[in-house]
Amino acid sequence: TSVAGVFTRSKCPSAPVEWCRAKLKGGKARVLVVNSGNANAFTGKSGRDAVTFTAALASKAAGCKPAEVFLASTGVIGEPLKATQFSGVMDGLVRQAMPKAFHEAAKAIMTTDTFPKVATATATLGKAKVTINGIAKGAGMIAPDMATMLSFVFTDAPIAAPALQKILSETVVDTFNAVTIDGDTSTSDTLLAFATGEAAKNGAPKISKASDARLKDFRKA
């Protein structure tokens, strides 16, 4: 799956943010691991070790490279993340993954949210229809840019990572980066977009450049 992302501009980003920034250069994703309850921020070396350990667990469970694992954490700041707790459940999570469990995932990443946040849109790409599904977490500490918001967008459109990154970076300006609730920003802001390319089976053209005119409807969606 192609992957793109934008993150907090805080000079004290969380360990998962630092991990994702480094792995985005590869442009490929196989697994997304999100935990709530602990933000793994201001945790220093132990935080970085927890991220590396979690990625190793997930990559083994899914049969991929650690660099194809993307991570996000939300919750309490400054407490070490006990990533060893993931070792007993990671295999099962990968094995039980379902195509339509977006609501369950949206509920699982909530912290102080009072309801799960989900959105779906469709767009025409070439002569094919593609779908965009998004889930988000965030209730407070939200100000440009994004603040304590974790958001994950998934599409079946066949879009290469560099093009997906450019689209995401441009469209975030008037959307997530225009949102404020309480004027506070955070260490953990993460917005990741994943393009699986599955719609190519239905005739959707493969997109390699963000300037492709066929992306007009997709950009709007």
Residue numbers annotated as active site: 148
| Four-residue CA torsion sign, 131, 121, 73, 82 | negative
Distance CA 213, CA 29 (A): 26
Q: Pull the structure tokens for residue 12.
A: 């004290």
Distance CA 47, CA 13 (A): 11
DSSP state of 159: B
SS3 content of the chain, % helix, strand, coil (to 5): 35, 25, 40
